[in-house]
A and B are shown apart, each in its own frame.
Chain A
Amino acid sequence: MESDARYAWVGFAVVTLMVVLAAGFYWLNGSTEQDVNRYTVYFKNQSLEGLQLNSDVRMQGIKVGKVEDYIILPGQAKTVRVTLEVDARTPIWEGVEAVVTRNLVTGLAAIDLDNVWKGGSDIGPPPEGELYPVIDEGVPQMTRISNTLETLGKASIEAVERMNHLLSDQNQQAINSVLVNVAGLSGELRGELRQIGPELKATLGATRQAALRLDTVGAELTPVLRDSARLVRDGGKWVEHAGQRFDRMANETEATLNTARVTLSRMDGSLRDIQTQLKLSVDLGMQDIQTTAQSMRASSDTLLTTSQEYADPVRLLYGPHKAELGPGEE
């Protein structure tokens, strides 16, 4: 009687298990096709290295589907058509973009979908000639950064070229020659003044002496004396005019030299500022490099440790050996 009852229980359990198994298979069969939507993406600019069938399709970092199929289009060596299978509950808007992201350690790639706001309407039916709705190819973050860096690099090169041009040998020679000419001009003026000054002074002295002599001649020669006095006055005025002109020229020369000195001083200040900025950038860059290198070392060390731990599966399954237990551990 007891053995009959046990057989009945065993039979009941086997039948129940089979029913559960069959229900499981039915559930798996019935829940596949209806809950997903398919989309097509044409990748032209991004590498699909690391992308495989069943690779993840993510949105906001959450897995929402998988890669169902991909093919390089015949006759278009740089265009790859990828078919995505996405959970039907996932909102796919018009203007959605797909970018390929790659895990730096494993090299495995996935596709990230980014819903770009263009009114929030659904992507709609497939275009003519397409089996599924088409999702646009986006631009990966790394590409954006590299483009920015490239632009920055070009701008830097241009700035350096302009600076080089500004400080070119030709310009330096020109500035030197200008300064030399200005210095020469002031020297010549000074020399001229030095040469002409005594002569003018001597002329003035002689004229004054002549006037004095003429004054002593007497009243009978008054008309002649009047003429001579006029001559002395005119000569004095001419000398005074010449002196004023030379003074003006000397002042202008001095102002030109002052302007040149201020310009050079400003250039010196600007170069010093550039030097300070460069030093600051290099210092901060070096800090980043140091910390990045240290982080990479730490990551590789962690990977090494983890791989060593996983190298002993017996330990993982059955726990540590008694001899490995620490003080006070049982």
Chain B
Amino acid sequence: MCCRYLLVWLSALLGLSACSLPGARTQAIQYFVLEAQTPVSPVAAAKAESPRPVLLLRDAEASVFTQNPRLIFSRTPATRAYYQYALWTESPPKRLHTLLRQRLLASGLYGGVVPLGAGVQGDYQLNFRVLEFFHNAAQTPGLAQVRLDAELVERGSARLVAQQSFAADVPLASQDAAAAAAGLGQASSQILDAMLVWLARVQPNSVDMPQAR
């Protein structure tokens, strides 16, 4: 009962203090979906008689700053800041993981592409980390810059098959959050395409089941 009285008084005090708060925001918060265009010429997997390998896709690694769902921009080199009223519907590393998985499945390079920890034993594992994912606004209207590292590992022997860095810079149409979101989507699309081409080059098309597993 004592707590309830205290609650009533606190509510009254809060009501009075509300007079000192500023008014509503002048700008609405926008939520953007990171969309990557489908590849113009999809990678065609060579038909192999023996079974195709199963790929385990590990969650993307990223810095704490990049994991935040807010859009990132930079006006001066070596600095980063968040857009205050623009957010992703899903943090970029998670969204890139989903988009990459969709593309890998559609490419037919693998017999299956499943997230790591799904209870499936895979032949290969793809790890990748998002190094940069921001709107470089040093110049008007600026660039959408994406940097990414990836490595392909053969799980049976824990051997590093190949590793590669990817980068894409896309000029923006205007200097605002909507253009930045669209540009980052295009840059992501370019990088995902490049990853597929790289995997098609370094990945064995078939797998000898007893040895690899």
Contact = CB atoms under 8 A, between A and B. Distances in A.
B58 interface: yes
Contacts of B75: 327
B159 interface: no
Contact of A290 (B8, B21, B116): B116
Given A284-B121, A301-B67, A329 B85 contact: yes
Given A302-B67, A326-B71, A330-B26, A28 B1 contact: yes
Contacts of B141: 327
- The 3 A-B pairs at the shortest CB distance, nearest first, are namely A328-B176, A291-B117, A326-B83
26 contacts: A21-B8, A25-B5, A28-B5, A283-B155, A291-B116, A292-B117, A294-B58, A301-B64, A301-B67, A305-B64, A317-B22, A318-B22, A324-B81, A326-B73, A326-B81, A326-B82, A326-B85, A326-B137, A326-B177, A327-B83, A327-B135, A327-B141, A327-B175, A329-B27, A329-B83, A329-B176
B20 to A, nearest CB: 9
A284 B21 CA distance: 54
Contact of B177 (A287, A301, A329): A329
A284 B119 contact: yes
Interface in B165-205: 174-177, 180
Interface in B117-140: 117-119, 121, 135, 137
Given A24-B8, A327-B180, A329-B84, 7 more contacts: A28-B1, A291-B115, A318-B21, A319-B84, A326-B82, A326-B137, A327-B73
A247 B117 CA distance: 62
Contact of A327 (B1, B115, B142): B142
B93 to A, nearest CB: 9
B84 A325 contact: yes
A274 interface: no
B149 interface: no
Contacts of A327: 73, 75, 83, 135, 137, 141-142, 175-177, 180
B25 to A, nearest CB: 7
Output the residue of A301, A317, A318 with the most chain B CB within 10 A. A301
A328 B116 contact: no
Contacts of A280: 121
Contacts of A320: 84
B98 interface: no
B121 A326 contact: no
Output the residue of B22, B27, B64 with the most chain A CB within 10 A. B64
B68 interface: yes
A28 B73 CA distance: 51
Nearest to A308: B64
Question: Chain A interface secondary structure, helix, strand, loop or mixed?
Answer: helix
Interface in B64-82: 64, 67-68, 71, 73, 75, 81-82
A88 interface: no
Interface string B1-31: 1011100100000000000011001110000
A326 B59 contact: no
Contacts of A304: 64
Output the residue of A25, A29, A280, A328 with the most chain B CB within 10 A. A328
Nearest to B1: A32
Contacts of B3: 54
A288 interface: yes
A298 interface: yes
Interface in A1-47: 21, 24-25, 28-29, 32
Given A327-B142, A329-B27, A294 B59 contact: yes
Contacts of B118: 287
A288 B115 CA distance: 11
A328 B174 contact: yes
Contact of A326 (B67, B68, B84): B84
